[in-house]
Amino acid sequence: MGRRFRVAFIFVAVAAIVGCARRPSVEEARAFLDQAEARLRALSEEASRAAWVQSTYITDDTEILAAKANQRLIEATVALVKQSRRFDGVNLPPELARKMKLLRLSLTLAAPSDPKESEELTRIAAAMEAAYGKGRSCPEGVTDPAKCLDINQVTRVMAESRKPDELLSVWRGWHAVGAPMRKDYQRFVDLANKGAREIGYADMGAMWRSKYDMPPDEFAREVDRLWDQVKPLYLSLHAYVRSRLREKYGEKVVPANGPIPAHLLGNMWAQSWENVYELVAPKDTGPAYDLTKILKARNTDARQMARYGEQFFTSLGLAPLPQTFWERSLFTKPRDREVVCHASAWNVDNVEDLRIKMCIEPTEEDFITIHHELGHNFYQRAYNKQPMLFRDSANDGFHEALGDTIALSITPEYLVKLGFLDKPGDPAKDTGLLLRRAMDKIAFLPFGLLIDQWRWKVFSGEIPPEKYNQTWWELRTKYQGVAPPVARSESDFDPGAKYHIPANVPYTRYFLAHVLQFQFHRALAREAGCKEPLHRCSIFGSKAAGQRLNAMMEMGMSRPWPEALKALTGEDRIDASAILEYFAPLMKWLDEQNQGKPVGW
């Protein structure tokens, strides 16, 4: 899945207002925000360019330059947030009140006011992300870098190998990437929490949870409510996959009623399972095609993969990507330097300097990821005429959901239109198609939830440093029903082996996106006039669906997210019922397969 777009909200402190005891006026508040927004674009562009170079040319120098640019933006934002508190109590018009609120919630990392601590925090943040980018999985006892695997190679082995010993070796090697970050991460938490407290939050986690147009505790309850809606489907999927993997690897490797060993699910983090679909495929039905084989047979290169994604959006009536996108994006891994291959979408100037950074392979996974990343780009451009403080998605889950909504339209009917298939295939094969999609979408849900469950507890102090790794695996077992294949201890730091931890990218957005995308898809499919079962609907070519989608995207963050959701779906509450509708045929089939077998762990 994808990957992280880079849109930094960067602000600069305006001149200090020397005044008397009187309450500031509405016009003074407007002037304050206007000055902030006037500087926002320039500072954002500076930091984005530095971050782009750091991610695509990893050196000590680019790390330093990115850290300094990041430090400037964070310090300026913190200063501006503190100055904005001067307007507390002023009865502002709705637009100004929302801008003031979003200004105060724009940070994902709050640096302390002490310059030395601020510099230390941003340096640690840049160093941890770079350490991940340079990470390698080395076989036990091997120190020669030439014999170690980068993240692309690791991903390929985890997806394709069916040898438990090889999978374990690669799994163990990559998880060693996190261990050297442990001390830095502990210091990072201390400094980030100090910065968050200085601007009025209990800790970093509380700051993150405050960004959803509702109180932090209410948002946490909403996440739990959504998980409760989908949990029965996940439990059925887990039970079925476990029983089939047990048939493949034997009872000594896979337990009958316990957690699944994490290295056997086709993905380094066991966050999606579609790569082991062939091991668990229904015996009497299955996908009628292999998209990876099709792409490779057609000699599809990286740029053509991106063109397919662009074509989907233009079929909805949206304008093509600018020429600069094709000139400035990173599509393949260079041979001459280190880069962060983790896929991400960028709008460098917050207007139309759209780019993706991705080491593209001709695989089904990357085909889907391309649609996901371009969803960010088209969304970024749709709201680029909003005031600067509104240039973001309704909430961060919306941004992540856009491309995945399009990917739900990658149906056999769509592939026929691309010339990949001669005909859509027998509807009797839908069980296999739904199972494979569930092994991506449904398998991800608990992982999408637990990453920030862990971080929120780390930031609050509920998880102390001496229990970082222990609690990580307790949560993974609780939510995912997976377990480490070898013993882990506090000398390990397995969270650091997942990009979003060292890169400090909030993760609940991905959980929300996996719910929202089905809610979006259902609404757009209806707008497109689809009469088929929801999982057979594709909105490719529907200008009506495109108009409805674009109307929501153009709103940016100008209105609370329930209003944006209503503009697209007619509903003002996130609801997982669309997931249950989409996978209803599969749920019935899974329950039949699981009769007499243990469910849960």
DSSP for residue 338: -
- pLDDT tens digit sequence for 57-111: 999 999 899 988 988 888 888 888 889 989 999 999 999 999 999 998 888 888 8
pLDDT tens-digit readout, 339-385: 988 899 999 999 999 999 999 999 988 999 999 899 999 999 999 99
Nearest to residue 266, comparing CAs of 392, 98, 443, 81?
A: 443
Q: Is 269 left (phi over 0), alpha (psi -120 to 50) or beta?
A: alpha
Mean of pLDDT values over 31-56? 90
Return the pLDDT at 59. Answer: 92
Residues 6+ apart with CB under 8 A from 347: 5, 7, 48, 353, 354, 355, 377, 380, 381, 384
Summarised one tens digit per residue, pLDDT across range 390-438 is: 999 999 999 989 988 998 999 888 999 999 999 887 776 789 889 999 9
Give tens-digit pLDDT for 583-595.
999 999 999 999 9
Tell me the pLDDT tens digit for each residue of 221-268: 999 999 999 999 999 999 999 999 999 999 999 999 999 999 999 999
Looking at the annotation, which residues are catalytic?
Answer: 342-343, 372-373, 376, 400, 500, 510
Q: pLDDT tens across 460-496, in order?
A: 999 999 999 999 999 999 999 999 999 999 999 999 9
* Contact partners, residue 441, CB within 8 Å, separation at least 6: 514, 518, 579
% of the chain exceeding 90 in pLDDT: 79
Specify which of 43-52, 361-370, 563-572 reaches the highest per-range mean pLDDT.
Answer: 563-572
- This prediction has a pTM of 0.85
Q: Where are the beta strands (DSSP E) in 148-284?
A: 260-261
- The three-class DSSP label of residue 329 is coil
Pairing of strands 354-357, 344-347: antiparallel
Which residue type occupies 317?
G
Mean pLDDT, the chain, rounded, equals 91
Query: In the prediction, which pLDDT does 72 show?
Result: 84
